[in-house]
Structure 1
Amino acid sequence: MNTQLLFQLLVNGLVVGTLYGVVAMSFVLIYKATQVVNFAQGELLLIGAWVCWALLAKYQVPFYVGMPLTLVFMFAFGIAIQIIVLRPMIGEPIISVIMVTIALSTVFQATLKWIFGVNPQPFPQIFTTQSVSFAGFQLQTVYVMSLVVSVAMMIGMAWFFKVSKYGLAMRATAFNQQVAQSLGISVKSVFAMAWAISATVSAVAGVVVAVVNGVSSGLSAYGIKVFPAAILGGLDSIGGAVLGGIIIGLLENLAQYIDSEYLHWGNLYEIAPFYVLIIILMIKPYGLFGTKDIERI
């Protein structure tokens, strides 16, 4: 038994899992506010990564300037999506809105390939040191950065929902849109803010992944890859999304260890989260912390 490899993979899984948790929070944020599952979430990661890459590679903007500019752009972009595309869908069946997000996914993919091409692009080097040693383990510097940023974003999100005016408005809207509107809360503004924050958070995750793997259309697959984390934790639970992301991250790397040491199947790393998703949904259909919806007839 290669204990050193096992612990190395588990540490990597914990770090990557926090990143998954951040992306899963983006799913939950939109679902809590609008009751819509956004199937274009992965494309928001990709757009953020391409925008940051363009600023750094084409326009030679320093990372400490390019990253904030990317986040500002994605914040505005999220608002624009909600106002232009999704606001006219308010009142329509949920399945229609979900189909629109699927259509957005296709449109974004095609547009990005048209603008940036289909060839993967390496991300400009950000750190002079590519890896750091911690407790005998080697961690990529960008993953350490992502861990710090992810934890900070989780703390910020917790503060946002508990203290801020918009956060409280989102919680009220998620509980009951009609009651929130009767209390003077602008449901349209809450929807726009949910999409703006979701796009911004996704951009952070997209840039982190792009720094490691480069920028390509395959990055959008993280949207589907993280979906089991959101379902596992519960689609209406922010804390559940974080825990679900960490579980999926650890599970992936544990599956990689078992596969490389014993099974040698070659793809267990990719499919293990979906096996667990099926099992969890058979036992707890609403996820670990999702709100159980009881209907009486």
Structure 2
Amino acid sequence: MDFFLEVLIGGLLAGVMYSLVAIGFVLIYKASGVFNFAQGAMVLFAALTFVSLGERGVPFWIAFLVTLATMLLLALAVERLVLRPLVNRSPITLFMATLGLAYITEGAAQALWGAQVHGLDLGIEDVPLDFGGLLISQFDLFAAGMAATLVLVLSLLFNKTRIGLSLRAVADDTLAAQAIGIRLSRVWVAVWAVAGLVALITGLLWGARLGVQFSLSLVVLKALPVLIVGGFSSVGGAIVGGLIVGASEKLAEIYAGPLLGGGIENWFPYVLAMLFLLVRPAGLFGERAIDRV
């Protein structure tokens, strides 16, 4: 039982890391209906900018603030140069625009900082801590705490501030929100800026675990099952979906892996996602599409 609990808790903590990536997708999708395929490139760009500044002797907090300001400028540029000219275009057009944006962002990161692999040390050692006989990773606990803090801040932002209420109004009915004077451009800039902050924190945590390299942008592929399970339009769904995916893949690897030859941790989440698409396409917390005729 102790071993089972260790695997389960380790999977849940790993799922929190997946949720961080998924939250960036959810924020932009709720505000603009755009599936932002460039989220992984934003994670890479933020992590690469931060670690490159640190290697040049810039103190931690100054590097963090400079990187955050860079992500805010990137959000403003995306709204002005990509979203605004493509207003009212088809979803596939917007998706292809974010796909192109992903390659542009990765290319810009390589041109600015180079293509070499960087190590990132946040000062948190990945060592097990003993909790009554259960061994839990110190770094995973730190990452879970950061994710919980970020979710709390986002909840306060969306529920207690004017821009948050505007975002919820736009998510519910874009035309009605415009009719009462809400400016879509301002909401989009705010949402992409928050997504940039999420990308920065995600990039730091994943970069500390995997190293800051261009494969870091592929972490978005792990977020897709999380979005399908939790729902594309729910921040809470992203958290729950991440926990489910993280726990299920770890348990499947330990208990079903030996029977199937091992290595199922990488593809089991997609099997789970396909089952959800067949049974509950909107996910656990997603909004079901209703067509009125």
Match of 1:289 among 276, 285, 290: 285
Task: Give the drift of 1:207.
Answer: 0.8
Match of 2:104 among 78, 102, 107: 107
Structure 1 residues 122, 82: CA separation in 2 closer, same or farther (over 3 Å shift)? Answer: same
Task: Give the drift of 1:84.
Answer: 1.9
Task: Give the drift of 1:70.
Answer: 2.2
Structure 1 residues 137, 219: CA separation in 2 closer, same or farther (over 3 Å shift)? Answer: farther
Unaligned runs of 5+ in 1: none
1:73 aligns with 2:70: yes
Match of 2:33 among 20, 32, 35: 35
Partner AA of 1:151 in structure 2: A
Structure 1 residues 10, 65: CA separation in 2 closer, same or farther (over 3 Å shift)? Answer: farther
Task: Give the drift of 1:246.
Answer: 1.1
RMSD: 1.9
Match of 1:84 among 55, 78, 81: 81
Task: Give the drift of 1:107.
Answer: 1.9
Structure 1 residues 252, 60: CA separation in 2 closer, same or farther (over 3 Å shift)? Answer: farther
Contact 2:52 2:113 in 1 (8 A): no
Name 1:146's counterpart in structure 2: 143
Q: How many residues align?
A: 292
Render the CA deviation track for 1:103-140: whole Å, top value 9, x for unaligned: 111222233334333332222x3317442514144444
Contact 1:230 1:244 in 2 (8 A): yes
Contact 1:162 1:168 in 2 (8 A): yes
Matches within 5 A, 1:195-274: 195-259=192-256, 262-263=258-259, 265-274=261-270
Name 2:273's counterpart in structure 1: 277
Structure 1 residues 36, 128: CA separation in 2 closer, same or farther (over 3 Å shift)? Answer: closer
Unaligned runs of 5+ in 2: none
Contact 2:45 2:106 in 1 (8 A): no
Question: Percent same amino acid at aligned positions?
Answer: 29
Partner AA of 1:290 in structure 2: G
Contact 1:142 1:211 in 2 (8 A): no
Query: 3-state SS of the aligned residue for 2:292?
Result: coil
Alpha-carbon distance between aligned partners in 2 of 1:252 and 1:118, rounded to the nearest angstrom: 31
More off after superposition, 67-76 vs 265-274: 67-76
Partner AA of 1:161 in structure 2: F
Name 2:52's counterpart in structure 1: 54
Query: 3-state SS of the aligned residue for 1:133?
Result: strand
Task: Give the drift of 1:5.
Answer: 4.3
Alpha-carbon distance between aligned partners in 2 of 1:74 and 1:38, rounded to the nearest angstrom: 15
Structure 1 residues 128, 182: CA separation in 2 closer, same or farther (over 3 Å shift)? Answer: closer
**TM-score with structure 1 length normalisation?**
0.91
Partner AA of 1:195 in structure 2: W
Alpha-carbon distance between aligned partners in 2 of 1:134 and 1:40, rounded to the nearest angstrom: 39
Query: 3-state SS of the aligned residue for 1:269?
Result: coil
Structure 1 residues 117, 286: CA separation in 2 closer, same or farther (over 3 Å shift)? Answer: same
**TM-score with structure 2 length normalisation?**
0.93
More off after superposition, 213-222 vs 106-115: 106-115
Name 1:158's counterpart in structure 2: 155
Query: 3-state SS of the aligned residue for 2:266?
Result: helix
Contact 2:128 2:137 in 1 (8 A): yes
Task: Give the drift of 1:145.
Answer: 2.1
Query: 3-state SS of the aligned residue for 2:267?
Result: helix
Alpha-carbon distance between aligned partners in 1 of 2:234 and 2:94, rounded to the nearest angstrom: 21
Alpha-carbon distance between aligned partners in 1 of 2:2 and 2:114, rounded to the nearest angstrom: 41
Query: 3-state SS of the aligned residue for 2:25?
Result: helix
